[in-house]
């Protein structure tokens, strides 16, 4: 959901009109639309570069992941790892566009822990992966754009660390 939808639904649930503060929030959200679109454009246009750099950083920090027996050892496992990087990057862009972490929560976190645990993928490895994804992404953004995108990566990282 977006900030606008969240505010409207909350007001409707409360059987009231939007408050002046809520209306200001909507105006602020809408006026930041071009900035959000620019950030999403940079991240989307550079997906492959970001994913490759994040993987490079991760495997330098954690070479055991690509060693025999590691979760990213072999062509198939590495490809699955990179696929997940792309998927989470896409989820972050959805959050940026909507101005909300709800999509990240519902699609990217609910059930993720159970899925990764069932596949034998350590959550701490996923957390480290998201840190490298964040770093590779923010390297392509200016400071204002980074400030806009960073909280969505932080939300993802924090909630991957938190037990369900």
* Greatest C-alpha distance within the chain: 60
Binding residue ranges: 71, 81
> What does the angle CA 129 – CA 133 – CA 138 come to, to the nearest 5 degrees?
150
Task: Enumerate residues 6+ apart whose C-beta is below 8 A from 152.
Answer: 92, 95, 96, 101, 104
Binding residue ranges for (2R,3E)-phycocyanobilin: 71, 81
Report CA-CA distances (Å) from 46 to 21, 50, 70, 84, 137: 36, 6, 27, 16, 9
Distance CA 138, CA 160 (A): 19
C-alpha Rg value of the chain to the nearest Å: 18
């Amino acid at each position: 959901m977006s900030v606008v939808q969240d505010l409207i639904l909350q007001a409707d649930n409360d059987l009231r009109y939007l408050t002046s503060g809520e209306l200001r929030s909507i105006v602020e959200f809408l006026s930041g639309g071009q900035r959000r679109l620019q950030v999403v454009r940079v991240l989307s246009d550079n997906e492959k570069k970001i994913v490759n750099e994040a993987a490079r950083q991760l495997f330098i920090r954690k070479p055991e992941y690509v060693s025999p027996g590691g979760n990213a050892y072999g062509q198939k496992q590495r490809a699955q790892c990179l696929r997940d990087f792309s998927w989470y990057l896409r989820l972050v862009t959805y959050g940026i566009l909507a101005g909300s972490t709800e999509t990240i929560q519902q699609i990217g976190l609910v059930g993720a822990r159970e899925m990764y645990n069932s596949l034998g993928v350590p959550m701490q490895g996923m957390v480290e992966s998201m840190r490298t994804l964040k770093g590779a992404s923010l390297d392509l953004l200016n400071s204002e754009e980074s400030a806009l995108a960073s909280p969505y990566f932080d939300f993802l990282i924090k909630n991957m660390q938190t037990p369900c």
